[in-house]
Amino acid sequence: MRLTWLGHSTVVVEVAGARLVTDPLLRRHAGALRRAWPRPDPDLWHRVDAVLLSHLHHDHAELASLRMLPGVPVLTLPPAAHWLRRRGLPGVDLAVGERHRLRPGVDVVAVPAEHRHRPMPHRPSQACGHVIDSEAGSVWAAGDTELFDGLDQVRAAPRAGRVDVAVVPVGGWGPRLSRGHLDPVSAARACAAVGARTAVPVHWGTLHLPGGRHLPRDWMARPGPAFAAALAEHAPGCRPLVLRPGQTWELD
């Protein structure tokens, strides 16, 4: 199993011969939001087998980035898949609780998420997470969510009954988080709730509004280390892996 964080919520997961990418943001910027790091190296995200799309907010579902992956199926909730198909993208319906066989030995399961605070007028607003369940281990890509009572469904999604790696959001694109998000402490509690063995913090240190990268000072660099410290307190059995954009980690 190999994970490469490309920034924000975009992670390339290589497991049991399959390559998947979550919420791809592949260009230099994302609409009005500026990227603090160079754009992801195309060699890191080419030749993926599927996209896991958590929801249609612009910092997760950027159409120009999705069109850079022509023909790659986009596994997402049915309303979002229908919206994508109307725009010529290969949206694949995957309702919460459903299991999609990507290839022998690798399934994707849609799991609940709680992210309702900011509905969009022209895009469906439902959100989900995904569990990649494979012979080599399981990965929970949480998408955007807050703590909610249905995290036991995440823990039960892998056939082995455990989450080996949790990919969890711990920040945002501003110094203040709105409702529907996890901060470092609540993300650590979510990892404890699903019994994660290893956790990779995402959704931090990447995007910012124009002119807002240094206001307040160092806000973009804080969530990752703060999450590692919160894991030590709230989920001491879970190992933190704080990556930088473009960095790859491999599970022995």
What domains appear along the chain, each with residue ranges and CATH number? Answer: 2-244 (3.60.15.10)
pLDDT at 236: 96
172 near 219, Cβ under 8 Å? no
| Rounded mean pLDDT, 170-192 | 95
CA-closest candidate to residue 115, choices 124, 125, 100, 107: 125
| Rounded mean pLDDT, 219-236 | 97
Tokens standing for residue 198 = 């290893």
pLDDT at 166 over 80: yes
- The alpha carbon dihedral of 245, 118, 140, 47 has a sign of negative
pLDDT at 251 over 90: no
pLDDT at 127 over 80: yes
Q: How many alpha carbons fall within 13 Å on the CB side of residue 222? A: 16
| 184/228 Cα distance (integer angstroms) | 8
Residues 89-107: tens digit of each pLDDT: 999 999 999 999 999 999 9
pLDDT at 121 over 90: no
pTM over 0.95: yes
pLDDT at 144 over 90: yes
Average pLDDT over the chain, rounded to an integer: 96
Backbone angles phi, psi at 25, to 5 degrees: -115, 105
What is the percent of the chain where pLDDT is above 90?
92
pLDDT at 120: 83
Q: Alpha carbon 69 to chain centroid distance? A: 17
| 112/126 Cα distance (integer angstroms) | 10
Backbone angles phi, psi at 75, to 5 degrees: -85, 120
